[in-house]
Structure 1
Amino acid sequence: MRYVQGGGLTDERRVFRETLRLEAAARFIQGDENAVIAHTLRVSVRSVQRWRKAWSQGGPRALASKGPASLPLLSDELFTVLEQELTKGPVAHGWPDQTWTLSRIKTLIGRRFHKSYTVQGVAALLKRHGWSCQVPARRAAECDEAAVAGWVKETWPQVEGPWRCSVPGSSSRTRPASR
């Protein structure tokens, strides 16, 4: 099952769900019906049906958590190294500007750690470790406001062209008076 956050369950959530399944197993032993168990545990009847089938075939051990669906490609130690590389900036790694993009980080991971991530995988990895998308909050220090204002006043009117003069009857929404 895929989750909106782009990852699997946290350890706490996995333990919580395992506790629910084991509580359902205790209710199976008591002979409770699936609908009653589902209502009490606030889960779907279909989930209880799947749990009962697994429990009948393998006992309570069949309801135990099997751990995360997959292990991350980068361990916490390697992610710490990645963070150090990211703080050096994109220019230090050969890019022409100071903007980290997901595709650049993906390339950096491939070059530095020889691991292959998708762009979406990089986004999930960064989000899992508390990183977020950042957009510059202010204009660049190199921006010359006077030059921009001069361009808007002098050059833009020439590029835009003269405004059309409106004369009575020139609008396409009005018809000339019929004679």
Structure 2
Amino acid sequence: MEAAERSVLGEESAVIAHDLRVSVRSVQRWRKAWSQGGPGALASKGPASLPLLSDELFAVLEQELDRGPVAHGWPDQTWTLSRIKTLIGRRFHKSYTVQGVAALMRRHGWSCQVPARRAVERDDAGVASWVKETWPNVEGPWRRSTPGSSSKTRPASR
């Protein structure tokens, strides 16, 4: 609306686009819509698409999530976005991306969780030993690059 109002006042499209951080083409489209249909032509038409899972279906998904991953065939009690995506596909025959699942869960008040405690089986002495003795061999020696050095090898000169 601001772009259209400023266009009516005679401001250049490039200046408006720069100030509003949009493309000049968008400002031109908005100006054309304003001139053909007035302010109503610029009103929001709502989201581009409806959510794949309605609130009723999301309530069913929450019940499925409450049953736990093991009940759905996974070996442990960890829900991941990928697993939730698979569950939605199996249960509702709807396809989400992993990012779409994350947005869906956030929209309904869910958040990412991390374990609050370490695994009971953790061996801190074994981890410290591995980091001290094994990891340096895996990591390899550090080499400084020098000006003009390259990771590519050149054929020997003739």
Backbone CA RMSD of aligned residues: 3.3
The corresponding residue for 1:67 is 46
The corresponding residue for 2:68 is 89
What amino acid sits opposite 1:57 in the alignment? Q
Work out the CA distance in 1 between the residues paired with 2:115 and 2:50: 34
Work out the CA distance in 2 between the residues paired with 1:83 and 1:89: 10
Query: 1:38 deviation in Å?
Result: 4.5
The corresponding residue for 1:112 is 91
Structure of larger gyration radius: 1
**For the structure 1 residues 65 and 121, does the alpha-carbon distance in structure 2 shift closer, same or farther, using more than 3 Å as the test?**
same
What amino acid sits opposite 2:20 in the alignment? V
Name the TM-score, length of structure 2 as normaliser.
0.64
Name the TM-score, length of structure 1 as normaliser.
0.57
Structure number with the bigger relative contact order (C-alpha 8 A, sep ≥ 6) is 1
Work out the CA distance in 1 between the residues paired with 2:37 and 2:50: 25
What amino acid sits opposite 1:32 in the alignment? L
**For the structure 1 residues 50 and 102, does the alpha-carbon distance in structure 2 shift closer, same or farther, using more than 3 Å as the test?**
same
Deviation by residue 1:144-166 (Cα, 9 ceiling, x = unmatched): 76xx65x679x96xx85xxxxxx
Work out the CA distance in 2 between the residues paired with 1:116 and 1:79: 14
Deviation by residue 1:44-67 (Cα, 9 ceiling, x = unmatched): 584544322111122222111111
What is the number of residues matched between the two proteins? 128
Work out the CA distance in 1 between the residues paired with 2:122 and 2:79: 24
Where structure 1 has 5 or more consecutive residues not aligned to the other structure, the ranges are: 1-20, 161-179
- Give the secondary structure class of the aligned counterpart of 1:34: coil
Say which of 36, 44, 47 aligns to 1:57. Answer: 36
Work out the CA distance in 1 between the residues paired with 2:127 and 2:36: 76
**For the structure 1 residues 114 and 60, does the alpha-carbon distance in structure 2 shift closer, same or farther, using more than 3 Å as the test?**
same
Work out the CA distance in 2 between the residues paired with 1:152 and 1:138: 16
Query: 1:102 deviation in Å?
Result: 1.4
Say which of 96, 100, 108 aligns to 1:121. Answer: 100
What amino acid sits opposite 1:33 in the alignment? G
What amino acid sits opposite 1:83 in the alignment? E
